[in-house]
Structures are given as structure tokens and as C-alpha cells.
Structure 1
Amino acid sequence: MISYESFLRSIKIARTDFPNPDSYPFNIQAIRHLDQLDFHPQVTFIVGENGAGKSTLMEAMAIACGFNAEGGTRHFNFATQSTHSELHQYICLIRSVRKPRDGFFFRAESYYNLATNIDELDQQNIASPQIRDSYGGKSLHEQSHGEAFFATFLHRFSGNGLYILDEPEAALSPLRQLSMLARLHELVEQNSQFIISTHSPILMAYPNSIIYYLGENGVEVRTLEETDHYLIMKQFLNNKDKMMNELFGNNE
């Protein structure tokens, strides 16, 4: 029987210790109102508009969990440029007694850097077998962006793990996003926990989850149907011609 017990129960943010509440990242509206975030034992989604602080929060959580700021497992320590914020220093992790066997911080914007580091390590014969073998046996640079993304989800994620994913849908077609939902469910049934920031209504449709919306007033729980992502997409698909006319200033 699957227990679905969290690896990471929640985080607490020491807002009163912020050095300068008016400087980045402490001045992000959602973060300056956030004291604690409780995670679903299976899947937690963090959504919101561009600039709402999703990636900043995901990065800080991942670093606090021991992952490299640019992504990968806890064993990666490369850094192409040190651009991460100080927020991780003010995050307290509330863990369960259960420890993950696997873990990964997937960050779409720096995935190229991760793929490069894997190739460099393999060329140096740092590990045997080669690191790329756990990603499907083929260099991630020798695949399309979307194929490389999905190869990680399919081959590298082994279950019983904590997976923090920042916009994993960035290079995935709608069909691949549906495939990712199926893979997500497989891993959840293998006692995995996911924390995902996304703009994809397809991914947000995963049933055993909670959706946190980051906005100017802080963080609130929403259903899929209450998210801007779902509402705008539904409105566009149902009223495509009308919306196109409005966007292009054609009111005839």
C-alpha cells in the first residue's frame, strides 16, 4: 500500500529577518506576505504571472534542500554564473522522518548548462558508467530541447524521490505534456513528491495536488478552473475570432 507521506511537509520563511524588505528578492509581493507554505504529499503546483516570484521561490527551496542552484541532483556543483538570490538563507525546511532515495532540481532556463556539465564530466571519465547513461544513454545536446527534457523525466527520475521542477513544460508540446502527466503519475505511485512551478493548465490538471497562486496579495489556494491560465486558454479556444479581433483592434 502506498503511504503518500511527504518528504517535505512545509517551509517557513523568516520574513522578520529580511535585511532589506525593499530590495530583491524580499520586495516581491508574494514573498513579502509569505510566512509558511504547506506541501501536498504528492504534487504541489506554484503558479502565477511572470514576475510573481515563482522561480525565485523554487530556486530558494531547491538550494535549501541541498540542490545546485542551476539544477541537477545534489551531486552537481557546477556554476556558470552565480545569480541566485539570498532567499534560501531565510527558509526553514519542515521535513518528515521519511527521507527520499532520489531527488532532482529541474530548471528549464539553465538546463543547457546542466547538459553541458554532464558532457564535460563524461569526457573527463569522472564516473563509470557515464552520467549520460542515467539520462537515456545519449548526450542531451544531441537531442531536441523537448526530447532532452523528457529524457530526464523518463530515465533519470527513478521514484521514491523529491523532485522540484521549475517550468518543466517550457520545451514540451501539448502531447508531450500529456505524456509527462502519465510519467508524473507513475512516479507518484512510486512514493515520489513533486513541487512544480508551471504555466501549463495541462499539468495543473493532475488530480492529487494543490495549486498555490502567487499574486500581489501573497499566496492563495486555487482550483485549476480558477487560475488565469485555464480561464484565458478556455476563453481563447471558445471565442478565438472575437479575441483576435479585440487584440488586433478590429471591432467590426
Structure 2
Amino acid sequence: MNKFAAKPYLQRIWPEFGNDVDLSEFPFNVPAVRDLQQIEFHADVTFFVGENGSGKSTILEAIALALGFGVEGGPMSIQLLDTLGERSALARHIRMSRSFKRPKYGYFMRAESFFNVATYMDKEIGASWSYGVPALHARSHGEAFMSVLLNKFRSDGLYLLDEPEAALSPNRQLAALRAIDQLVQQRSQFIIVTHSPILLAYPNAKILAFDGSGISEIAYEDTEHLAVTRDFLNHYPRRLEQLLAPDLDSD
């Protein structure tokens, strides 16, 4: 990594757990958090993957809060909830190394609270050219997300996305992949939590797998997401037969 390059804007993060941290309490008892050493980010796209509960969204949220985003997401200018509360416990212990050049734009996108951010934008700011027309709540979840991606995300940005595929059809995931690439070509950096084998296929991205042993880098071809999806699509009649077979032991 060229230390004189403008990207990555966020180069690496590491924890500083003092005596006040109880490693038996959430979120510090999650293996990926408890054993966190250092995460180095790709200049373009870094993916966090893993099973539900593996800690990937927890760490992404902590990074976002440490950077100054609100816990509900959106641009840094939106702070819908108190970010100094319990949910930011990990964020207070995150340290980071950043580029000499700060991004011009930033956005923390989380599927679970996007509705609240859209409500704020529609009520407090109104339908704006920066989000397109009509207002966000006048569109479907997926359309609203794509509007933000296409109209609010700009060049020279740092963007944190938590499971963006939750709002998107497969075709829209492909469109999102193209939009992400266009922004990467315009000097933007992405950190994305995802379960989508479509998004994970982005060329040359860094994929970090979260599991019970911690965090490790993995190739796209070795992800469980690709293996399970490919196996099911190639053998779906047999897989459905196995999955939906009566449980003879249930009696």
C-alpha cells in the first residue's frame, strides 16, 4: 500500500481495549470483536462476509460511529439518535489510520434504519435534486436505495454499506455493482457488509470472512456464499427434495 496515495481514505483500524472492557459482554464477546487485531482496507472495495451474528455489522457500525456518522446512517450531517449510548461501546475503542486527504463525501447506509433516514430527508429537507424526484417515500425500498446510490453518492467519497442487497433485486444488484465501479473509478472507497454473491464478485476486492475463529481474508471463489448459491442453482430439484423431506424422527 502506497502511504502517499490519497486512497484508501480509511487505511486501517485496530482496537484499544482497556481494563474497562468486559470481554464477556456484548459486543466484546463476539469472536471477531474479542480477537480483533487490525483490519487493513482495500483502496477500492472491502467486503465483510460471514454468518448472521458473526460481528461484521457490529464492527462496521463501530467504524461508522468512530468516523462521525450517526448510528441510524445517512451522511454525517444527520444524527437521528444519541451516538454516545450503549450501541457505540465498541466505537469508543476503535483507533484508525486515515489518508492525508479526506474524502469530500461520505454516507453510512444500513438497511434496517434506511426508512428512518428517508423519513427525515423527506420531512425535514424535502425532495431534493441530490436525491432525485419523487421523494424517497414515494418509491419502493429498492428504488429509494438506488436513488441514493445514483444521486447522493459522488466522486471522492467514503461509503459504508450494511447489507445493501436487502433492498435490491438481482438485476438491481447488478446495476448497483456498476454504479459502485463508476464511483471507484472516480476515487471513491467502499466498505460493504453483504451476503450477496453478485456484489462479492466485484473484481480485485478484498473479502474478509468473519467466523468463530476471527477474521481472515478469503478469495471470492472460496466464499460459502458462492458455493452454496452455485450448488443450489445447479442441483435445485435434489436440494429442495433433501431440504423439504419429512423429518421421520419428529414423531
TM-score relative to the length of structure 1: 0.91
1:60 & 1:171 partners in 2: Cα distance?
23
Identical pairs, percent: 43
Alpha-carbon displacement from aligned partner over 1:58-78 (angstroms, at most 9, x marks no partner): 110000011111001110011
Q: Equivalent residue of 2:52, what SS? A: coil
Q: Equivalent residue of 1:40, what SS? A: coil
Residue 173 of structure 1: which of 148, 169, 175 is its match? 169
Q: Equivalent residue of 1:169, what SS? A: helix
Alpha-carbon displacement from aligned partner over 1:193-243 (angstroms, at most 9, x marks no partner): 000000001000001310000000000111111111111001101111111
* 1:64 counterpart residue number: 66
Seen in structure 2, the aligned counterparts of structure 1 residues 233 and 113 have a Cα distance that, compared at 3 Å, is same
Matches within 5 A, 1:137-152: 137-152=133-148
Q: Which runs of 5+ in 1 are unaligned?
A: 123-129
* 1:87 counterpart residue number: 90
Q: Equivalent residue of 2:11, what SS? A: strand
* 1:215 counterpart residue number: 211
* 1:162 counterpart residue number: 158
Contact 2:207-2:219 within 8 A present in 1 as well? yes
2:6 & 2:239 partners in 1: Cα distance?
43
Q: Which runs of 5+ in 2 are unaligned?
A: none
Q: CA RMSD in A?
A: 1.8
Please, which moves more after superposition, 241-250 or 226-235? 241-250
Residue 233 of structure 1: which of 229, 233, 247 is its match? 229
Matches within 5 A, 1:178-217: 178-217=174-213
Aligned length: 242
1:203 & 1:15 partners in 2: Cα distance?
33
Residue 75 of structure 2: which of 70, 73, 76 is its match? 73
Residue 35 of structure 1: which of 18, 23, 37 is its match? 37
Q: Runs of 4 or more off by more than 2 Å in structure 1?
A: 15-18, 79-85, 130-133
Residue 99 of structure 1: which of 81, 98, 102 is its match? 102
2:20 & 2:94 partners in 1: Cα distance?
11
Letter in 2 for 1:70: E
Matched, 1:243 2:227: no
- Give the Å deviation of 1:106: 0.5
